[in-house]
Amino acid sequence: MWKMWKELRLIGGLARQKSTALQTMPAVHRSFSTGTTQTDSEPFLIYDKDPAPAFMRDDVQRLLKSITRLELEKVFRKRSVKDNTVEYRFMTDEQLRQELMKSIGKAQNMLQMPPVVQEQKDTCAVISRDGALKALSTSKFVFTDITYGIKNSQRSIVVRYPDGTLQEAPYEMRKRLNQIYFPLTGRSIHQPPMFEHVHLQRLLEEGKYEFILDRACVQFEPYEKEYHQITAKVYQHINESRSFDALRSTRHFGPFAFFLAWHKLIDDLLLDMVKQDYLRNGIELIVLFSTLHGTTLDESVKQIALQTEMPSLFDAPEKSIDELKQDEQFLSIIEQFVNEHATKKVQLNLAVQAYREMATEKLRLAEGIRRMHGES
């Protein structure tokens, strides 16, 4: 009887070991497929040095905010959320003006840009090597400081390895443990499948750029390699498909424009600005390019670009004569930049020429109407 019992225990132990091995195999595969994106083998543009000092400059921030273009209808558009109610009020002109100012302030907060910083390298400093603890256990021991009120980046997390080495935990482990003890709303412990190559490519083809970038801001920190990979891929896809309106007037348009200017890829965006009559934004983009790369640019151009301007909430029916004359000045600046620095000179020069002909005709018509009304 005792012999039979020992045999049964042995068979049960082998069965448990086999089932445990079968259960752990998919886990290893899942950590491989979700721990790092499958776009590692694909080329993507990186920052050759820390972009944070340039991105955080006051003049660069002003340029990026203006380039983003504040459009209240898009900022406060309906989303797939519970709170989609519409409220109607009767107001005086003064009350309407005050509400508009409040809406502008709220919209500017909603357009706060994610920071652009350098990718952080994972450094795991060795604290001590205790040979006396070698082979004490076959497993690693992780010690986490769960003191309340400490920033996750400053929290002490160390690992004791089976060979007795006490070392700082690698970043992936730190992030996972911080999410376990102090979970952030919307962030998953494991990387969501949507960031895998197949699913990410499908979302890009569907044009869901803002959704991808919003989710990336929740899941990753701005200094993580995966964040840099995903955002770079989204920015490159937008630039190649020229889907600039998908990000315009969102909090991601500023970092997107900064990315293009840093890597000298602003030709298509500048062409889009000329075609859509956003000449002032085109000048601001040129000034941003000059600021990042040190190209020569007249000080008067920088003064024009850095002038504080009230966002236009309503489109004017027609431009004034002064605005049309200023557009001619803007076109000259854009034309000079195209001839000196652009790579798509033919397309840009054709767009500038077409716009100049249209603006000249409008200016001639506006001046004729003014003379008919007896205005000087």
Confidence category of residue 82, pLDDT binned at 50, 70, 90: low
Backbone angles phi, psi at 129, to 5 degrees: -125, 110
| Poorest-pLDDT segment among 32-46, 63-77, 206-220, 299-313 | 32-46
Q: What percent of the chain lies above the pLDDT cut of 90?
A: 56
Instruction: Say how many C-beta atoms besides its own lie within 10 A of residue 113's C-beta.
Output: 19
Backbone angles phi, psi at 141, to 5 degrees: -115, 130
Q: What percent of the chain lies above the pLDDT cut of 70?
A: 83
Closest by Cα among 287, 297, 275 to 348: 275
How far is Cα of residue 175 from the mean position of the Cα atoms in its chain? 20
pLDDT at 311: 61
Flag whether pLDDT at 269 surpasses 90: yes
Mean pLDDT of 61-78: 88
Instruction: Say how many C-beta atoms besides its own lie within 10 A of residue 53's C-beta.
Output: 11
Q: What share of the chain is helix, strand, coil (3-state, %, to 5)?
A: 60, 5, 35
pLDDT at 16: 41
Average pLDDT taken over every residue of the chain: 84
| Strands ordered across the beta sheet of 141-144 | 126-129, 165-168, 157-160, 141-144
72 neighbors 313 (Cβ within 8 angstroms): yes
Distance, in Å, from the CA atom of 333 to the CA atom of 301, rounded to the nearest integer, reads 8
pLDDT at 247: 94
Confidence category of residue 343, pLDDT binned at 50, 70, 90: very high
Flag whether pLDDT at 144 surpasses 50: yes
pLDDT at 316: 57
**More confident of the two residues 1 and 169:** 169
User: What's the Cα-to-Cα distance from 262 to each of 32, 160, 224, rounded to whole Å?
Assistant: 32, 42, 19
Backbone angles phi, psi at 243, to 5 degrees: -95, 55
Query: Three-class SS of residue 297?
Result: coil
216 neighbors 230 (Cβ within 8 angstroms): yes
| Poorest-pLDDT segment among 7-11, 15-19, 25-29, 89-93 | 25-29
Flag whether pLDDT at 30 surpasses 50: no
Please give the model's pTM, rounded to 2 decimal places: 0.81
How far is Cα of residue 231 from the mean position of the Cα atoms in its chain? 6
Distance, in Å, from the CA atom of 336 to the CA atom of 56, rounded to the nearest integer, reads 28
Flag whether pLDDT at 309 surpasses 50: yes
pLDDT in tens, 91-129: 998 988 898 888 888 888 889 999 999 998 888 899 999
pLDDT at 257: 97
283 neighbors 327 (Cβ within 8 angstroms): no
pLDDT in tens, 326-335: 889 999 999 9
